[in-house]
Structure 1
Amino acid sequence: MSVTRSEVPRRASEGSGQRAASVIVNVIDVLRCFTVEAPLQGVTEIAAQVGLHKSSVSRILATLEGEAIVERDEASRKFRLGLGLIAVAGPLLANLDVRRVSLPMLQELSAEIGETVALVVWDGTEAVTVEQVASTQNIKHTAPLGTRYASALNSSVQVFLADLPPERARELVESGPSALPPGAGVGTQEVVGRLDRVRERGYAVNQGDTFAEEVGICAPVRDHRGQVVAGLLMAAPFYRVGPDRADELGARVAAVARQISARLGAPPGPPASD
């Protein structure tokens, strides 16, 4: 069977492309061996996981080390992911819009629980509503985009205060924009205790503390650095959310907040206590 001149380079190109694709797949497979549970990996361990000869794995790691994608651990001489990987992922991380990422999950959560769900961000002293999916029920609680919450009794504010250094949080509660209003019936020490509870269980509850007819539940959303960049807020009429349902909804809101955080690249944290 004869082969024309035009067919030869095309077939050679196909073979070259397949080999290049195979090399790329091998590199990706090697990188996927580094996990949260097993951040340190040796050549032999990686070779066993990806099914490559140790010499091939060594060559891949040497190239990745030269680009700072992986680095050696001084104590074990094994490899771990390097800071060069952050530089590669930087543009993606910078363009991850928490509002865009969160919206589908807000819609699903609102449909599931039948209540209004919103996303709030922190401007340094107040929580600001930047996204909202309203409940379809006739009686519901909603707020215009841009609504600000300052009081430390708001669940959305407590989520951000709980992530601040304790002295800064206390300062805001005592004399800053989050200061308790006159006649609040709640003192600074009680609010500080609530912030401890937020850290323990992973969500804050405002059971009619700011408005007698409303319950607010908020959980932190974290980014790839583990920092709180938003709060997932649920608002509902008081008569529909008693203490038992508040705990149930709080756990659900916190779970969805963790899902959003995972989409943003947040490192897994310890499970919240009940």
Structure 2
Amino acid sequence: MSSPRNSVVHNVIDVLRCFSTEAPLVGVTDIAAQVGLHKSSVSRLLATLESEGWVEQDPSTRKYQLGLGLIAIAGPLLANLNVRQVAHPYLNELAATSQETTVLALWEDAASVTVEQIASDRTIKHTSPLGARYTSTGSATVQIFLAELTFSAVEDLINSGTIRLQDGWTLDELRQRLEIVRERGYATNLRETFDDEIGIAAPVYDHHSQVVATVLLAAPSYRIDDHTIDTLIKQCTAAAAKISTRMGHPASHETVER
């Protein structure tokens, strides 16, 4: 059931929408006229928003402007959108070079989530729908994200059922695999989750040297041999390094330059 349009939440949204790049400073009277509320109601709403840091009052004009508190709310979204924007041309380049599907995945609520995809132009291909969530340790992107955690944290995710241990794997085997992922700088899924699919993933780092995303190459297994895998690994890790450089990671810059 939808909430009524005159709810407090809707009033707050209407007030916030009064601010724009063209009109960054707005007075109570103007806001009241725009949203159709009494000035006293607008004043109370602005006082609440000011206490949260969502708006600020200019001491000279007594008008209001948006506050820095909104950044704390929008920050995670802005960060994700930023890495998608930075990654997009490199995903396109990787898809053209490899002729396979390229994907950008983020770690969200203990799952690897597809947020961008460039599908292969080939008739037979593997794709990952936007919003698809992967939680098996057999997934190459999941391995990249898990490799950044302590193994006790990984065990907690598995024991809670949040992350699924790939069929046939033991915890010791997973520990060894994640150590190899950290050492090599990439992860593979060679027909381990699906018989007809292979996946190669590499981490994207930001200026804090934190993994903020994963680049994935997905391809049908029938056209992949050992030589092709080596080539795809080099292409995938190179693309991830370029994106990391654009995200401000200095170590990736050195890798790309070599």
- TM-score class, shorter-chain normalisation, is 0.5 to 0.7
Match of 2:157?
A: 172
| Residue among 152, 161, 170 paired with 1:187 | 170
Query: Quick one: which amino acid aligns to residue 157 of structure 1?
Result: V
* Cα distance in 1, alignment partners of residues 175 and 87 from structure 2: 29
The reply on whether 1:265 has 2:252 as its aligned counterpart is: no
| Residue among 132, 139, 149 paired with 2:134 | 149
Structure 1 residue 94: Cα displacement: 5.8
* Cα distance in 2, alignment partners of residues 243 and 211 from structure 1: 18
- The 1:95/1:121 distance shift into structure 2, 3 A limit, reads closer
Equivalent residues in 2 for 1:161-240, closer than 5 Å: 161-180=146-165, 184-240=167-223
Q: State the SS of the aligned residue for 1:142.
A: coil
TM-score (norm 1): 0.61
TM-score (norm 2): 0.65
- The 1:112/1:178 distance shift into structure 2, 3 A limit, reads same
Contact persistence 1:98–1:264 (CA under 8 A) = yes
The reply on whether 1:136 has 2:124 as its aligned counterpart is: no
Contact persistence 2:98–2:235 (CA under 8 A) = no
The reply on whether 1:159 has 2:144 as its aligned counterpart is: yes
Query: Quick one: which amino acid aligns to residue 102 of structure 2?
Result: V
Equivalent residues in 2 for 1:108-147, closer than 5 Å: 108-147=93-132
* Cα distance in 2, alignment partners of residues 242 and 177 from structure 1: 33
* Cα distance in 1, alignment partners of residues 199 and 156 from structure 2: 23
Q: State the SS of the aligned residue for 2:251.
A: coil
Structure 1 residue 172: Cα displacement: 2.2
* Cα distance in 2, alignment partners of residues 153 and 96 from structure 1: 27
* Cα distance in 1, alignment partners of residues 231 and 177 from structure 2: 18
Contact persistence 1:218–1:232 (CA under 8 A) = yes
Query: Quick one: which amino acid aligns to residue 197 of structure 1?
Result: I
* Cα distance in 1, alignment partners of residues 155 and 233 from structure 2: 24
Contact persistence 1:99–1:131 (CA under 8 A) = yes
Query: Quick one: which amino acid aligns to residue 93 of structure 2?
Result: E
- The 1:208/1:267 distance shift into structure 2, 3 A limit, reads same
Once the two structures are superposed, what CA deviation does each residue of 1:119-157 show, in whole Å capped at 9, x if it has no partner? 000013100000000000010001210001000110010
Query: Quick one: which amino acid aligns to residue 202 of structure 1?
Result: G
* Higher CA-based Rg: 1
